[in-house]
A and B are shown apart, each in its own frame.
Chain A
Amino acid sequence: MADVGGREHVGRRVIATVLRAGLSAATLMMAAGIVAKLASGDTTTPTLELGAFVPPRTPADGLLGVGVLTLVATPFVRVLALAVVWWRVHDRRFVLTALVVLALLAAATRLGGG
């Protein structure tokens, strides 16, 4: 039981690290994108569309777009990481729960574009 408790503690640290890392990377890229945009003198703001954004019009647009996408992808990665964490402690009920949530999130983009 103490081993399970230890792995639970490690699991919490893993998830907290995933959230912090995703947020930090996204914030840095978004801030850098804003600064680069201001430095370029371009004050227009494009719409973010996955299909139309690659390749981006400018490096600033690309940096900022990747930053926003990194931020919104962080909860998805967190769900995936939890599935792995719970798999390691043999908590299969909640592994299945996480997989259902991942499937729903994957379906959202398809339903929105359909």
Chain B
Amino acid sequence: MGRSRRAVAPGSDGDVTLDAAVIAGMIGLGVVAGALGALVGIGGGVVLVPALVLVFGLDFRVAVAISLVAVIATSTAAGSVYVAAGQTNMRLGMTLEIATTAGGITGGLLATAVPTTWLALLLAGMLIVTAVLLLRQRGSRGQRGDAADDGTEGYEIPGRLAGAFVDPRTGDLVAYEATRLWLGSGVSALAGVVSGLLGVGGGFLKVPATHLGMGVPVKVAAATSNFMIGVTALSSFAVYLARGFVHPYPAALVAVGVTGGSLLGARLQGRASPAVLRYVLTAVLVAVAVQLVLRAVGGGLDG
């Protein structure tokens, strides 16, 4: 934690002057990122990191650290709503958090050691494949079951990676049990690495893997991913904090905006259909892929 490890000197590319435009801009950026993150189960880092680097001129790794704080705010704000509603499968989330936390630590450590261009290109290809798979998906893999009896929208089954939730559109109870844990854990580990490298939540990988690969309904997958990304981001953030990349004022401005945006997005998400969610997620995946390719080709991910 010594100052010799600091890559960003005080008063240089990690700092901003706190004038009205910067404060309004960073809070506004946080609101947009928070709403997007809550709606599609990602942390909003795909919006934040490029904006902080290109608009506010912050160092890439400082922007990643700020984005990780925003990811934690998104996960906490929206997660409180989803958990109370019973949409989150916390046992599934905690199980996958083992892999995603290990990945997050690895990503944080790699961020200061290797260029990320090759990984960004690989990820862009994977996102396009996932987007195509999402577009081809039809309906939920859940089964109808008995009505919930505790007044919430869902529940978990103790001792298992299973549960049920009430679809707010139809009023039916959708039962499910997660399968292929090895697949979910593998993708979660990869998502953790990407989160640590690029400051994103990794939900754009976890939601499709949990939904398509593990057979969990998309709404539960999105809520569970949102639940997980806070811990994923924390594991990487700890590395960035220890290495002196955390600038609290920009982080706080963005986090305050993200908190409001996340709560807004979480309220809206309960009214969206699974099909609409898949289309939104597909559009986000393509946008992230294009952004990654452009930045990798332009050398914007190195350094």
A45 with B15: CB separation less than 8 A: yes
A74 with B76: CB separation less than 8 A: yes
Bound form: Cα–Cα A82–B241 in Å: 25
Q: Which chain A residue shows the least CB distance to B196?
A: A108
Bound form: Cα–Cα A6–B11 in Å: 54
Q: Is there a chain A Cβ closer than 8 Å to B292's Cβ? A: no
- For window 40-77 of chain A, which residues contact chain B by CB distance below 8 Å? 43-52, 61, 64-65, 67-68, 71-72, 74-76
Bound form: Cα–Cα A3–B153 in Å: 18
Q: Is there a chain A Cβ closer than 8 Å to B25's Cβ? A: no
B101 with A72: CB separation less than 8 A: no
Q: Is there a chain A Cβ closer than 8 Å to B109's Cβ? A: yes
B255 CB contacts on chain A under 8 angstroms: 26-27, 30, 68, 71
Min CB distance A58 to B, Å, is: 12
Query: How would you classify the secondary structure of chain B's contact residues: helix, strand, loop or mixed?
Result: helix
A108 with B259: CB separation less than 8 A: no
Interface segment, B16-24, B168-176, B283-291?
B16-24
B94 with A101: CB separation less than 8 A: yes
B72 with A112: CB separation less than 8 A: no
B215-237: contact bitstring with A at CB < 8 Å (1 yes, 0 no)?
00000000000000011011111
Q: Which chain B residue shows the least CB distance to A2?
A: B149
Q: A8-B155, A30-B255, A45-B18 are in contact. Are A19 and B79 (CB under 8 A)?
A: yes
Bound form: Cα–Cα A61–B158 in Å: 44
B1-43: contact bitstring with A at CB < 8 Å (1 yes, 0 no)?
1110110101100111111000100000000000000000000
Q: A5-B155, A34-B23, A38-B18 are in contact. Are A44 and B80 (CB under 8 A)?
A: no
Bound form: Cα–Cα A71–B256 in Å: 11
Min CB distance A62 to B, Å, is: 10
Q: A23-B77, A30-B252 are in contact. Are A16 and B72 (CB under 8 A)?
A: no
A51 with B1: CB separation less than 8 A: yes
B90 with A19: CB separation less than 8 A: no
B101 CB contacts on chain A under 8 angstroms: 101, 104-105, 108
Bound form: Cα–Cα A66–B230 in Å: 18
Q: A9-B152, A72-B234, A108-B235 are in contact. Are A91 and B159 (CB under 8 A)?
A: yes
Q: Is there a chain A Cβ closer than 8 Å to B128's Cβ? A: no
Bound form: Cα–Cα A94–B73 in Å: 25
B113-150: contact bitstring with A at CB < 8 Å (1 yes, 0 no)?
00000000000000000000000000000000000011
Closest 6 CB pairs of A and B: A112-B242, A112-B239, A108-B238, A19-B80, A113-B242, A16-B84
